[in-house]
Amino acid sequence: MKLNALSLVAVLILPSLVASQLSGRVGPTTTREAKRNKVCNVLNYGGTASKTADIGKPLVSAFAACKNGGTVYVPPGDYGMSTWASLTGGSSWALQIDGIIYRVGTASGNMIYVGETSDFEMYSSTSKGAIQGHGYIFHANKQYGARILRLGKVDNFSIHDIALVDAPAFHLGLDTCTNGEIYNMIIRGGDEGGLDGIDIWGSNIHVHDIQVTNRDECVTVKSPANNMLIENIHCNWSGGSAMGSLGANTQISNILYRNIYTVQSNQMYMIKSNGGSGTVKNCTFENFIGHGNAYSLDLNAFWSSQTKASGNGVQYTGLTFKDWKGTCANGAQRGPIQILCPSAVACTSITLQNVDLWTDSGNGVTWKCENAFGSGGCLRSGDGSSSYSSTTTLVTAPTAYSAPKMPNDLGSGFGLTASIPIPAVPTTFFPGATPASALLGR
Q: Is 428 exposed, middle or buried (0-12, 13-18, 19+ CB in 10 A)?
A: middle
Of 81, 208, 204, 195, give the one whose Cα is nearest residue 143.
Answer: 195
Active-site annotation holder among 208, 216, 234, 298: 216
- Please tell me whether residue 167 adopts helix, strand or coil conformation: coil
* CA separation for the pair 336, 386 (Å, rounded): 25
Alpha helices in 130-242 (DSSP H): 136-139
Q: How many CB atoms within 10 Å of residue 208?
A: 26
Helix (H) or strand (E) holding 158: strand 147-165
Of 311, 327, 329, 332, give the one whose Cα is nearest residue 403.
Answer: 327
155 included as an active-site residue: no
* Cα-Cα end-to-end distance for the chain: 27
Active-site annotation holder among 191, 206, 291, 298: 291
Question: Would you say 133 and 146 are in contact if contact means Cβ atoms under 8 Å apart?
Answer: yes
* CA separation for the pair 8, 98 (Å, rounded): 28
Residue type, 367: W
* CA separation for the pair 441, 209 (Å, rounded): 15
Question: Would you say 247 and 273 are in contact if contact means Cβ atoms under 8 Å apart?
Answer: yes
CA 302 → CA 262, 298, 317, 346, distances in Å?
Answer: 24, 11, 17, 12
Question: Would you say 64 and 57 are in contact if contact means Cβ atoms under 8 Å apart?
Answer: no
Of 366, 334, 339, give the one whose Cα is nearest residue 350.
Answer: 339
291 included as an active-site residue: yes
Kindly list the catalytic residues: 216, 291
